[in-house]
Amino acid sequence: MPLRRPFVISAGAQDVATNAFVMLEDDGLWGLGEGAPSPRVTGTSIEDVVRFLGQRARALGPVRAGEALGLASELGRSVLEGTVGWGPGPAALDLALLDIAGRARGLTARELLGLPLEGSLPTSITVSLGTIEEMQNEARAHLHAGFEVLKVKLGADPIGCRRVLKGLRDVAPRATIRVDANEAWSLAVARTMVPLLDRYEVELCEQPLRRDMHDALGELTRTSPVPIVADEMVRSAADVELIGRDRLAHGINIKLQKVGGLTAAARLALRARELGLKVMVGCFIESGAGIAAAAQLLGLVDWADLDGHVLLDMNPVPGPPLEMGIVSAPSEAGLGHDATEIAARALAGLHEG
């Protein structure tokens, strides 16, 4: 799926998303799931996702719609216990199971999981790393489209970061700005940057340090007036426990594709709340299928970063309601991604006969 413009972060650039789709069918009912690999974050390739789905298809055999919720619960439990690896393979299957289960029962995925029924939040939209002029132009385009929360990608140079923040505040003085360093900063750079983030009224900072720099991240969190949100280091139940127990961050970014699906994500979000952490629901670059699934968590979280489908040049699945930068939990049964059966079959590589 080609992107509208290159997606550029400190770790590299991307101009196409290559995702896997899985479709389940039973007696006229169907469900669609999506797996979005991000090798840098999950260590998973598209081949790994397809291999996992093939193995599960052979192991499960035909999936009955009436059994799908139980299968999703079992898969989610296995992911959280570590007997099945987290990542986009389990996520794709979990989403398809919840989608067909919800359609069979006439319930949304969040109702199946016992989550809050309502939820709408402003979503951030990404401003990719580039020249100041490029980033200003991208910010203007997002503001013109009705978005009021900008997620700004920053590099490792504190002087360059300061110039970017000033340049964006010049063109977006009233916008909410979040920054994401994607592990690019050293502790020394982060200490330099925090006062600048505070000065430019940045709402939060995602993953400023490498995911393995636990002690340094905790030290930064204890002294930062700007909330620090862990992202790349949040993939498993053990990660959430560690961050909450040792106060390594003020909050976490839960992405369904990292943690192994909506079933696991819902339980992790609830546990994070118990540990006193704030929660963001985020995404990779996904179609509306994956984004609709993530939107099921909107009644449970503090922040939303659900722009993956907006970044696509041609989004093949509509996704959740999105108006003037506000994303809402879908009201339709299942995931509420609004894909047609024809579109779902095409995405999953299925053909009649």
Q: Which of 89-93, 104-108, 109-113, 346-350 has the lowest mean pLDDT?
A: 346-350
Number of H helices, E strands in the chain: 14, 15
How high is the pLDDT of residue 137?
97
**Average pLDDT score over the chain:** 95
The sign of the CA dihedral 59, 65, 67, 72 is positive
Phi-psi region of 189 (alpha: psi -120 to 50; beta: other; left: phi over 0): alpha
Mean pLDDT for 197-215 is 97
Contact indicator for 269, 297 with CB cutoff of 8 Å: yes
CB burial of residue 212 (10 Å; 0-12, 13-18, 19+): exposed
How high is the pLDDT of residue 13?
81
Exactly one of 151, 166, 255, 278 is catalytic; which is it? 255
Tens-place pLDDT, residues 210-267 = 999 999 999 999 999 999 999 999 999 999 999 999 999 999 999 999 999 999 999 9
How high is the pLDDT of residue 353?
39
Tens-place pLDDT, residues 152-194 = 999 999 999 999 999 999 999 999 999 999 999 999 999 999 9
How high is the pLDDT of residue 6?
87
In a domain, 353, yes or no: no
- Other residues' Cβ atoms within 10 Å of the Cβ of residue 16: 12
Q: Which of 303, 295, 283, 124 is nearest to 229 (CA)?
A: 303
| CATH number of the domain where residue 194 is located | 3.20.20.120
For residue 262, give both structure tokens.
């909506």
Q: Is 258 a catalytic residue?
A: no
Exactly one of 151, 153, 166, 258 is catalytic; which is it? 153
Tens-place pLDDT, residues 18-40 = 999 999 999 999 999 999 998 99
In a domain, 24, yes or no: yes
Residue 247: domain span: 1-347
Confidence of residue 118 (pLDDT cuts 50, 70, 90): confident
How high is the pLDDT of residue 348?
85
Parallel, antiparallel, or unpaired: how do β-strands 322-323 and 2-9 relate? unpaired
Q: Is 255 a catalytic residue?
A: yes
Confidence of residue 351 (pLDDT cuts 50, 70, 90): low
The sign of the CA dihedral 162, 164, 166, 169 is negative
For residue 253, the cross-strand partners are 280
In a domain, 218, yes or no: yes
Tokens 């991307």 correspond to 14
In a domain, 20, yes or no: yes
∠ CA 281-20-309, rounded to 5°? 45
In a domain, 85, yes or no: yes
Count of structural domains within the chain:
1
In a domain, 79, yes or no: yes
Q: In this model, does residue 352 exceed pLDDT 60?
A: no
Parallel, antiparallel, or unpaired: how do β-strands 176-180 and 149-153 relate? parallel
Task: Determine the Cα–Cα distance for residues 53 and 65; give it in Å rounded to an integer.
Answer: 18
In a domain, 352, yes or no: no
How high is the pLDDT of residue 30?
97
In a domain, 325, yes or no: yes
